[in-house]
Amino acid sequence: MRRSIQWRAGLILCFLALSILFLTPTLIDPLPQWWRKVLPVEKIHLGLDLRGGMHLLLEVEVQKAVESAMDKYASDIKDTLTKKDISFQQVERNSAGKISVLLTDTKANDRFNLIRSDQFANLKVASFLEREGKYQYLLELNPKEVKSIEDSAIRQGLETIRNRIDQFGVTEPAIAPQGENQILIQLPGVKDPQRAIELIGRTALLEFKLVDEENSLEEALKGNMPPGSEILYQKVTDKERGVVTRRPFLLKKRALMTGDVLTDARTRIKSDFNEPYVSIDFDARGARLFDQITAENVKKRLAIVLDNNVYSAPVIQERISGGKAQISGSFTPDEASDLAIVLRAGALPAPVKIIQNVTVGPSLGQDSIDKGIRAAIIGAVLVVVFMAVYYGFSGVIADWALVLNIVYLMGALASMRATLTLPGIAGIILAIGMAVDSNVLMFERIREELRQGKTVRAAVDAGYDKALFTIIDSHVTTLITAVVLFQFGTGPIKGFAVTLSLGVMINLFSALIGTKVIFDWINFKKQLKTLSI
């Protein structure tokens, strides 16, 4: 008996010490340096509703990813036909989203069919027309490939946004897919919401295009657009007046390089003008491409385009080797830093649009914290007083178990690096209620046994034994509900499920062992004749 009491008491004290250890970083700030070197430093994090911040719901325009894939297929088909000297009149994506291929003779048609089945198996023939010795195909992606591209756009978009947010410096962000083509983002503690939105929503498609100097920009602006060219604009800011103007450029549509060959992008400062710019590094393939492009286009202008905005269009003075380049413009330090972040994180595979944007102010979050803590304290005090008054000394023992329950629960949240939300506080309060409910069941059973004339020790043992299965049954059913909420819920629902499930499991320990060990210890030291219950 004595050894059993010692073992259970030691287990209770061990868990209590661990809980206090993990709670210390939450209660003491700053921690001493020696603590940080060897002991836990993670604290209980506050969720968006308590700390303030941003709640965004983004929709990934997956159709744009499919259109982009079709454009790439069209470009690849054109390049393949050209390299293999197969005669064609037209290869382009039409307004219906299909690739139109117009071949000029039978030989070209036969050779194209071999290439199509071998290299472009993901494309199927939507329609075929032979007229006047020419062959026209309309090609479309098969449904399986469309679904694959859409799913990939969601996954890549999720990872790209996560990388951008991590580099932006937001702690404890919540980023998760929602529905078929949506991404849920929660950013606690963000102080500049507009900057965060711009950083997240940028497609960040980097392209290097030649300036079309063979044709007239003025004529193109009047509507006489040369084939294979386009007009894009550069934003120019007058620093003295703060006026922003748009400068047009006539560019070749075909991109010579894109940002998928970048390995790094960093903000630098021009020593002569004290202006920030972005230095970019290419991978081995990108270095070879950039070397080739600059060697073949000396004295021509190469435009650096990001999301259809021209950042600069310098003249290539000489061949550039070494795999480095720079993007300059009228940047502020924050703009240069954000540009470097999106380039490092990579381009989004498809544009995103914000369909919900909610900003929670820190004052509202603090108000929620104050009210939540007040509710928890009031609830706990009322329960403690009720138990002590109604059940006497036994109620005080139940209050001890309740304190254990709360300390264990908060320690477990800290050890798991969990995020505490307002619904999470509601889960804690519900767990407090369940802890009391367990003791009420046991105490009422003990009362029944005492009325039957049993000794205190026998009544306590019988009361715990008879209430055991009822308590386990109620806790297991609640735990199953909490697990389902966690599995299928989002955000606040998961916060509630985490604290509730932890509270249920801890309550089983504190109610069945935390109180029983005290009754056993008292009976071991002194054979009680009566029990205050």
Q: What would the pLDDT profile of 306-323 be if each residue is shown by its tens digit?
A: 888 998 898 998 999 888
Residue 198's alpha-carbon distances to 234, 364, 424, 485, 510, in angstroms, are 18, 24, 31, 33, 50
Q: Enumerate residues 6+ apart whose C-beta is below 8 A from 144.
A: none
Residue in 60, 61, 68 with CA at minimum distance from that of residue 141: 68
Query: What's the mean pLDDT in 82-110?
Result: 90
Helices 193-201 and 333-345: crossing angle, nearest 10°? 40
Give residue for tokens 């507009």: 194
Cis? peptide before 30, omega within 30° of 0: yes
pLDDT for 365 beyond 70: no
- Give all domains of the chain, ordered by start, each with its CATH number: 2-51+361-525 (1.20.1640.10), 63-145 (3.10.28), 206-330 (3.30.1360.200)
Q: Is the model's pLDDT at 1 over the cut of 70?
A: no
| Distances 15 to 340, 434, 518 between C-alpha atoms, Å | 47, 20, 16
**Residue 446 in this model has a pLDDT that exceeds 90:** no
Average pLDDT, integer, range 365-392: 80
Which two tokens mark 58?
A: 């983004």
The rounded distance, in Å, linking the Cα atoms of 39 and 498 is: 25
303: left (phi over 0), alpha (psi -120 to 50) or beta: beta
Alpha-carbon span 290 to 295, nearest angstrom: 8
The burial of 21, by beta-carbon neighbours within 10 Å (0-12 exposed, 13-18 middle, 19 or more buried), is given as middle
Percentage above 90 pLDDT, the chain: 22
Higher per-residue pLDDT: 261 or 271: 261
| Averaged pLDDT for residues 345-372 | 78
Q: What is the pLDDT of residues 167-221, one digit of tens each?
A: 777 766 778 888 888 998 888 878 788 888 888 888 888 899 999 999 999 999 9
Give me 290's structure tokens.
């950039």
> 31: pLDDT confidence band, cut at 50, 70 and 90?
confident
The residue type found at 185 is I
Task: Tell me if 166 sits within 8 A of 340, measured CB to CB.
Answer: no
User: Do 291 and 321 touch, CB atoms closer than 8 A?
Assistant: yes
Q: Which residue has the higher pLDDT, 52 or 311?
A: 311
More confident position, 81 or 453: 81
Q: How far apart are the first and last CA of the chain?
A: 23
Considering the entire predicted model, what is its pTM? 0.64
Q: What is the dihedral of CA 230, 296, 303, 291, to 10 degrees?
A: 140
pLDDT band at 362 (very low <50, low <70, confident <90, very high): low
- Residue 171: the pLDDT is 66
**Least confidently predicted of 235-239, 286-290, 382-386, 461-465:** 235-239
- DSSP-derived 3-state class of residue 43: coil
What DSSP letter does each residue of 188-215 carry, written as one string? ET-S-HHHHHHHHH----EEEEEB--SS
Q: Alpha-carbon distance 340 to 336, whole Å?
A: 6
Q: Cα dist. 190→56, 171, 172, 361, 362 in Å? A: 12, 9, 11, 10, 10
Mean pLDDT of 106-113: 91
State the CB neighbour count (10 A cutoff) for residue 285: 12
Predicted local distance difference test score (pLDDT) of residue 363? 61
Q: What pLDDT shows up at residue 374?
A: 82
260 pLDDT above the threshold of 80? yes
Tokens linked to 110: 């036969």
Of 180, 120, 175, 126, residue with least CA distance to 150: 180
Residue 325 falls in which region: left (phi positive, over 0), alpha (psi -120 to 50) or beta: beta
For the chain, the C-alpha Rg in angstroms (whole number) is: 34
- The residues facing 131 across adjacent strands are 134
Instruction: Please tell me the distance from the alpha carbon of residue 138 to that of residue 290, in angstroms, as a whole number.
Output: 34
Average model confidence (pLDDT) for the chain?
85
pLDDT at 149: 92
Q: Percent of the chain at pLDDT above 70?
A: 97
pLDDT at 522 over 90: no
The pLDDT, as a whole number, for residue 364 is 58
Rounded Cα distance, 482 and 500, in Å = 7
pLDDT at 239 over 70: no
Question: Which tens digits make up the pLDDT trace of 118-162?
Answer: 889 899 999 999 888 899 999 999 999 999 999 999 998 888 898
Burial grade of 288 (CB within 10 A; 0-12, 13-18, 19 or more): middle
Reported as type and span, the H/E element at residue 125 is strand 123-131
Asked if pLDDT for residue 490 goes beyond 70, the answer is: no
Q: What is the pLDDT of residue 491?
A: 64
* More confident: 531 or 112: 112
Instruction: Please give the DSSP secondary-structure letter assigned to residue 329.
Output: S
pLDDT at 327: 85
Cα separation, 42 vs 23, in Å, equals 9
| Sequence-distant (≥ 6) Cβ neighbours of residue 381 within 8 angstroms | none
- Residue 95, helix vs strand vs coil: coil
Look at 112 and 425; give whichever has higher pLDDT.
112
**Cα–Cα distance between 205 and 259 in angstroms, integer?**
7
